[in-house]
Chains A and B, each alone.
Chain A
């Protein structure tokens, strides 16, 4: 019996102690009006070896250097040490640290994570993480609406924000009286349209979302945007790529006063792509707003003997205490993924993170250069990019995808489904995992 250790004698002894004759008797409070399940379609169990065989056969192919899709999930090299430590049973099979004395490992990891994440974003405080980048952004918007004093109900949402993030925002804000206004992008640079921002009235918007880099991989002029947005009395919600922040000016330093709330997808920091999850969303803010910050927060304190220790703090914001009045309904963080990110950041340090980011940029520039030499291929936007860029091709994009596939390459993200104005266009991602031969191969097929 898989995972059930009872012997026949155990069962007999236990039933006798309870005072019933068979296990079924323990269900006698469930009335017969509810039928006993038959599970006619459920298969019988398998042994571990058969299961391993089956799922290995079903497993998609994987080859290093073959994936040029980014669009929210990024291939980075993860040092072996990261997941060896993460999957230690003590981290892997513990739960939310309700008993801090028996959970100092998890708590201290989260404290380190909060410290490094705040540092990376140049923000004052970070929470212990949320589900993923998209849901963290939704929480950031809800948080902005709680702290914004101007009574505005509009949020300015860039069209060059990840389309799935915009979808999630719509799904969850659907039940609130807020208005999402689309912020168009400049067709030449790929950046947000500054004139649209200039035209809005003071106090018209509660918050404005700014991405760095944006969905097209384009680097935004964040200082200029920040100044303008603050002049309009709106809050700035920064949605950023954490690896890029080791190279680019971090949100806490944007403009004169920095971004107000910072969030994003933490996956690039040591978390595998794994078919889309589990990842983690990060969320940072100013210290004055910490009581409006959703999710778990770990604080440092001490015990009666003066020994340093860590606890979950500010729990009065959370649903198990506040119930219907909680800041959010979310009651977990993504502890295990945060553990991976913490180990990843500790292994690389700021220097290593900077090198990864630089290599991403260099590789991307290399491929851009290679592709701009190809006839019938155009680099779509002229503003600088980080590790993704859009191309437009003369040939039908479907043919290119197929040709790449034949050579075991995943060409990129097709833009027209989400941006009908961008026909025959592809969003191409290059991280530090690519070698020159991968880039040359890509160019060769496109030629």
Chain B
């Protein structure tokens, strides 16, 4: 009956023996740097230790094989985990309600901005079409604002103090202002000191404040975005709550909202009444911006985040920001002692900080890229480079709280070797890395002569 709909011939995917497949992928894995094999001070990405216990528990058969549409009555414990996670996030952020469903930071941003849009629409405030975004923001911020139909207005940040230009902000706000998207501490690795003032300016203009949770690790358990005046925010479980980055995903970006925006949170969420835990859907939340994933976001990631937070508890959560901050400030001081230039030497580092290689480049020709590549030869993953865009030749360094002093000291030693090499043998740095499976790759050729698909063979 379906013969004319059948596939002929089969796809060209060879069958390989199990042993050969295992060898092939094990060998491939060995070409990766990872947290479990290397120090990975990638700024803005919070590459902390990912507890193995979270993986083990999430792999128990009842969670691993759970069908997402299982009757709520048959997965009360599972829903309870979510419910607890919602509550812990609400408390850690100072917000009133939480939806766990966004599947990554960028989708959390989309959700938050969509909620701001829904709020203004609901009040028939249709002229608020502008989203304010500092020029130092993550690239996803303007992209997410566009996805929700806003036009983006950039607000300058002072590259001397690291704070937002308040005068420019005051001039930028008006009846068209829908809101502002902010990261605090900012991508400069410093705390935005004028945050209360900013909140006042925006709220007075009738706008709302969105908090990009990318850097939440810096203040976890210390101060809360809700107390700073933010109305809505997302968090990155793969950063702050130690879920694995998996080579670039899965992430998870729960969104938390204060009183004004909570009824717009995306569905599903988990509620509780006398009968137990249940799904909150569009039916119970008619003002919700709706569903963003087929089921419950990146459920398994949320489970790992829940486990991490329960292991840490209240005191453990507070220690996160304390030690992330201690490590970052220690590292910044030690690198300055070598001769590296901190972008904001007079400021405290939050959980990360920026070194600008510009003076070194001027003197020796060695760039941030060269330093990054040379670090790989010493078995250290490179910091984030050339971001934020406003600081020339920058390296954004985030050690996280789970690294020991010994690891930091070794990093300092290596950075010293590289600093000396820059002055004695710059050419050597230009040719780095030498010890990795391949050297610097021809990215221009990759883009020009696109080869994105090959024939699979052993």
* With A114-B453, A222-B5, A336-B244: A99-B290 Cβ-Cβ less than 8 Å: no
| CB within 8 Å for A277 and B301 given contacts A6-B404, A45-B310, A45-B312 | yes
User: Residues of A contacting B196 with CB < 8 Å?
Assistant: 31, 33-34
Taken together as a complex, chains A and B put the C-alpha atoms of A148 and B145 apart, in Å, by 24
A375 CB, nearest partner CB in chain B, Å: 25
Docked complex Cα distance between A305 and B290 (Å) = 52
A-facing residues in B402-458 (Cβ within 8 Å): 402-405, 433, 436-443, 445-447, 450-456
Q: Given A28-B348, A105-B29 in contact, is the A329-B227 Cβ separation under 8 Å?
A: no
Q: Which residues of A contact B126 (CB under 8 A)?
A: none
Q: Are A265 and B441 in contact (CB under 8 A)?
A: no
- In whole angstroms, how far apart are the Cα atoms of A20 and B147 in the complex? 45
Flag if B110 contacts A172 (CB, 8 Å).
yes
User: A90 contacts B59, CB within 8 Å?
Assistant: no
Whether the pair A336, B451 counts as a contact (CB closer than 8 A) is: no
- Taking the nearest CB of chain B, how far is it from the CB of A402, in angstroms? 10
Interface pair B143/A332, CB less than 8 Å apart: no
A301 touches B451 (CB 8 A): yes
- C-beta contact mask, A96-136 vs B, less than 8 Å → 1, else 0? 11111111111011111011101110101110110111110
Contact A43 B314, CB 8 Å, known A101-B438, A333-B249? yes
B142 and A324 contacting across the interface, CB-CB below 8 Å = yes
Give Cα distance in the complex from A343 to B24, angstroms.
10
* Residues in A42-83 with C-beta less than 8 Å from chain B: 42-48, 51-52, 54-62, 67, 69, 71-73, 75, 79, 81, 83
The complex places the Cα of A108 from the Cα of B247 at a distance, in Å, of 11
Evaluate contact between A109 and B10: CB separation under 8 angstroms.
no
Q: Which residues on B sit within 8 Å (CB–CB) of A273?
A: 64-68
B66 x A275 contact (CB < 8 A) = yes
Kindly identify which residue among A23, A246, A316 contacts B10, using a CB–CB cutoff of 8 Å. Answer: A246
> Does the CB pair B221–A122 fall under 8 Å?
no
In the complex, what distance in Å separates the CA atom of A109 from the CA atom of B454?
12
Q: Are A99 and B34 in contact (CB under 8 A)?
A: no
A328 to B70 Cα, complex, angstroms: 33
Cβ B323 vs Cβ A35 within 8 A: no
Bound Cα distance from A81 to B17, whole angstroms: 12
A277/B148 contact (C-beta < 8 A), A18-B329, A95-B245, A131-B107 known: no
Q: Is A370 an interface residue (CB 8 A)?
A: no
Binds A, one of B73-81, B167-175, B204-212, B254-262: B73-81
Do residues B91 and A89 form an inter-chain contact, with CB atoms below 8 A? no
Q: Please tell me which stretch of A227-235, A345-353, A389-397 contacts chain B, meaning at least 4 of its Cβ atoms lie within 8 angstroms of it.
A: A345-353
Taken together as a complex, chains A and B put the C-alpha atoms of A27 and B191 apart, in Å, by: 9
Contact of A303 among B190, B219, B222, B441 (CB under 8 A): B441
- B339 close to chain A: CB less than 8 A: no
Q: In the complex, which of the residues A34, A40, A331 contacts B140, with contact meaning CB atoms closer than 8 Å? A: A331
B22 and A221 form a contact (CB under 8 A): no
Which of A151-159, A196-204, A255-263, A290-298 lies at the interface? A290-298
Provided the pairs A18-B333, A92-B244, A307-B439 are in contact, do residues A323 and B323 lie with their beta carbons within 8 angstroms? no
For B91, what are the chain A residues with a Cβ–Cβ distance below 8 Å? 39-42
CB-based contact A350/B13 at 8 Å: yes
Contact (Cβ within 8 A) B7 A247: yes
- Bound complex: CA A114 to CA B446 (Å): 15
Q: List 17 additional contacts besides A92-B55, A99-B382, A110-B247; criterion CB under 8 Å.
A: A14-B327, A26-B348, A58-B81, A62-B62, A72-B294, A92-B50, A95-B248, A102-B376, A102-B433, A106-B248, A108-B31, A277-B299, A319-B106, A319-B143, A331-B104, A331-B105, A337-B246
